[in-house]
Chain A
Amino acid sequence: MKKIFLSVAAISLSLAALAQAKKPTIMVVPSDVYCISNGYSQQFVANGVEQTLPDYKKMMQNDRNMRMAITKLAAIMADRGFPLKDLEQELKNLEQEAAEVAAMQGKEGGEIVESPIDKLKRTAKADIIMDLDFNIQKRGPQNYVNFNLRGLDAYTAKQVAGATGSGKPSTAAAPELLLEEAVISYIDEFNGRLQSFFDDMFKNGREIKLQLKRFNSASFDFEEEFDYDGETKEFGDIVDSWLDKNCVQGRFSRADGSGNMLKYEQVRIPLFKESSSGRQTAIDARMFANDLRAVLRKPPFSIDCKVYQRGLGEAWIIVGEK
Chain B
Amino acid sequence: MIMRRVVLIFISLLMVAGANAQSRKERKILFGSSYNYEVAVLGVGQDGTKVFKVWGYAKKVDDAIVQAKKNAVAACIFRGITGGNGAAPTPAICREPDAEETHAEYFDSFFATGGKYLKYVNLTTDAVPSGQDRLKVKGGYKVGVAVQILYDNLRKDLEADGIARRLDAGF
- A-chain residues with CB within 8 Å of residue B95 when the two chains form the complex: 192, 195-196, 199
> When the two chains form their complex, are residues B171 and A194 in contact, meaning their CB atoms are under 8 A apart?
no
A198 CB–B CB distance under 8 Å: yes
Within 8 A of B (CB), among A150-171: 163, 165-168
- Given contacts A184-B47, A185-B44, whether A165 and B88 have CB atoms under 8 Å apart is yes
A121 CB–B CB distance under 8 Å: no
Which residue of chain A has the shortest Cβ distance to B167 in the bound complex?
A80
- A-chain residues with CB within 8 Å of residue B44 when the two chains form the complex: 167-168, 181, 184-185
A105 to B53, CA, bound (A): 67
B130 CB–A CB distance under 8 Å: no
> When the two chains form their complex, are residues A188 and B86 in contact, meaning their CB atoms are under 8 A apart?
no
> When the two chains form their complex, are residues B168 and A202 in contact, meaning their CB atoms are under 8 A apart?
no
What 1/0 flags go to A181-224 for Cβ under 8 Å of B?
A: 10011101101101110110010000000000000000000000
What 1/0 flags go to B128-171 for Cβ under 8 Å of A?
A: 00000000000000000000000110000000000001111111
> When the two chains form their complex, are residues A194 and B167 in contact, meaning their CB atoms are under 8 A apart?
yes
> When the two chains form their complex, are residues B89 and A189 in contact, meaning their CB atoms are under 8 A apart?
yes
In the complex, which range does the number of interface residues on chain B fall in? 20 to 34
Residue of B88, B91, B168 near A185 (CB, 8 A) is B88
B23 CB–A CB distance under 8 Å: no
In the complex, which range does the number of interface residues on chain A fall in? 20 to 34
Which residue of chain B has the shortest Cβ distance to A79 in the bound complex?
B152
A20 CB–B CB distance under 8 Å: yes
> Separation in Å of the A264 CB from the closest CB of chain B?
25
> When the two chains form their complex, are residues B83 and A195 in contact, meaning their CB atoms are under 8 A apart?
no
> When the two chains form their complex, are residues A188 and B90 in contact, meaning their CB atoms are under 8 A apart?
yes
A181 to B85, CA, bound (A): 12
> When the two chains form their complex, are residues B171 and A20 in contact, meaning their CB atoms are under 8 A apart?
yes
> When the two chains form their complex, are residues A163 and B166 in contact, meaning their CB atoms are under 8 A apart?
no
Within 8 A of B (CB), among A107-150: none
> When the two chains form their complex, are residues B167 and A22 in contact, meaning their CB atoms are under 8 A apart?
no
A23 CB–B CB distance under 8 Å: yes
- A-chain residues with CB within 8 Å of residue B165 when the two chains form the complex: 195, 199
- Given contacts A189-B88, A189-B89, whether A80 and B168 have CB atoms under 8 Å apart is yes
A202 to B169, CA, bound (A): 10
A81 CB–B CB distance under 8 Å: yes
> When the two chains form their complex, are residues A192 and B88 in contact, meaning their CB atoms are under 8 A apart?
no
> When the two chains form their complex, are residues A81 and B89 in contact, meaning their CB atoms are under 8 A apart?
no
> Separation in Å of the B1 CB from the closest CB of chain A?
68
> Separation in Å of the B130 CB from the closest CB of chain A?
27
> When the two chains form their complex, are residues B86 and A185 in contact, meaning their CB atoms are under 8 A apart?
yes
Which residue of chain A has the shortest Cβ distance to B156 in the bound complex?
A79
